[in-house]
Structure 1
Amino acid sequence: MMATPSSWAQHGITCDFCDNPNQKFCNICQVSLCLDCVSKHVEKFKSLSHDIVPFIKRKIKLVFPDCEIHPNERCEAHCKKCDVPVCLKCILGPHNGHKYEDMSEIFNKKKKDIEKETQEIESNIISQYEKQNEETENELSIAITKFDEMAKEKEKHRKFWHQEVDTIFNKLGSLLNAMKENHLAVLKSHQSKVKNRIPDMTQRVQQNKEIIKSKNVSAVTNYESKLGEYRNMPADIDVKMPSLKTKTVQGSELSLELEEYKATLQQISLSGLADDVYKSPIRKLLDKVSVIATIPTEVNPLFHVACVGVDEAWVSGEDKTIRRVDIHGSVRDTATTTCIWPNGITVTRQGELVYSDGRNRTVNIVRHGRTETLITAPRDWKPDRLCCTKSGEILVSMGTTDDNQNKIVRYQGHTVKQE
């Protein structure tokens, strides 16, 4: 729609290049100018001709693009064969004989398409995105509440478990946090895809409205639609909430189940024992083993594995090097032994690597990158497999050099506590 003198007055037109009141108008470029900006405008576009008149004597018309070949010429037509804007000199010159289309017709047609697109985005698509964003926000709130409730439920049942099985709850908490992180990440990712488009579409609508008001042919003819992208709303997601199942029979059994993870504590009577050890907590192994992760080690053959936390492990094979790998198989650290290959490896509660050297009859510990001898086996005995207990002791499986005898020795530091 073309502006009228009354509409110009109602909106208080200012200079197109600053905030000062307009006093002049360039009929060629179709821009409003204050007195200070007249010379700036002419100097900036000095290759073009200008028609500066008082604002009340302005002539509203389309602003056709400048010809890139012929200075001071405007392109009022579009060459269909070459798909480029052309001026009168172009038509008489390099584009002579080609078919043309009136630039005004292209302008009006494209402008109608922009108006239609803008209306659909503003009246329909944005509201759909806002609705889906609100629904996802509600799902996030429910999910956070559910996970918090399950975490509280986990802590409620923790007091029924003996200190010896605290690792069960540590594992359960780790799994729950991982599930929560993954679950919320999926919802937040979906929300982000939906939410992030809304400002872009809002800005697009504003830009389109400015283009619609504009008389600049290039702004309209060069417009690229994003309607197809906006119509392609991110698909709804369906993420399943995990459930924490608990069963308590006071004084006899407690069971917990979180997806594939299951743990059970039972108390059994042992007749003839003192009252303070009358009941002993035991943990049932899983009826069904599930693979949590497969870690490529590139160690072949693979002899020994010792876990470090939940994401790493020391591994050793038929060479002198013990490697610490992460869950993806990347080598994070190495330790070189003095033996042909370690007979056994384990990790202390402080995370230090321990390995046995059967040939030299030693159990060694790696501290700060240096290897120290921790235990030397008795004469004619060689250490083999190892295990660090929760109390900080080390169990060492030993055999005689002639393999006729075997024993397990429990060490507290260098001191033998039990055989």
Structure 2
Amino acid sequence: MGTPQYILMCGICCQNKSLPCYCVDCTDSLCVDCTKDHEKQKPDHITLPMAESRCPDHQKFYAVHCRMCDMPVCRECLTGFHNGHTCSNMNQAKAEKMHQVNRYKRDLSENVCSYQSSEDQGSKQLENYKSEINAVKMMINGQRERLKAMVDSQCDGMINSVETTLETHMDQLTGELSGIADCKRKIQEEILRCESLSGKGILEIKEFLETLPHLKDIPDWPPALSRPVPSKFFPTETSSSEGALKQMIGNVVLVRIHNSFSCKLPVSNIQASSADEVWVSFPDEKLLTKYHYNKEKKQARKGRH
């Protein structure tokens, strides 16, 4: 439900309007427009919402603030239950309450400052982390490209040596095949001469036989072809070369941050230190662990961030 509006006469403009506010000092009901002007002209006056300006027991406007009961009261309350109680005017009571509010606000502002400082520090750390991650990624990618170039160079060299060796063997075999083909051609031509003698006279056949052998330089069997040992590639097993590959690439040192954890001094394997913290590495891990030094307990405590 909304705040009830009281249809009365405005104490300033004297018009019959909805009156949402009441001025305790002027004891006037005010319309919306006059309330705004009144608060500007008399900022020290107490202006209350109409629904909160009347005593619920007597339906009278509040007049003063009872200090003993810490509540606003009307004139009729002063003759009854609040008779003899110490009272103050509404302005003074409001000023005291606002003093408490301002003190609370000041404390909150101090808390906001500390939280803002922590937030700024955390944001800066996040940006630093992002920069560090990008820098490490660039270094890893650079190493990747260098190793890829080395692998490409090695593979290209092996491929070139294989091609050169095979081309030499191919040239040798091509020459041998050319000689065999030439001998085969001469033998086939001699066979054709023999076949052509069937239509010749006996004297020509005799002359042919007397000049044998015609193919003195051609052996009965072709020479054996050269059989070069074929080139082979024996790739290294991936599992056995993984360690060597990691060693070639390099190692990433990771920073591990723990919750609160205590250990007795002295702390070994210290890599770096300051007045209140140390960085520790362990032989079996590629990690750095950050410890905060607790001077009172003489302990090194793993930092919480």
| TM-score, structure 1 as length reference | 0.25
Query: Higher relative contact order at CA 8 Å, sep ≥6: structure 1 or structure 2?
Result: 2
TM score, norm. by length of structure 2: 0.32
Greater helix share, structure number: 2
- Which is strand-richer, 1 or 2? 1
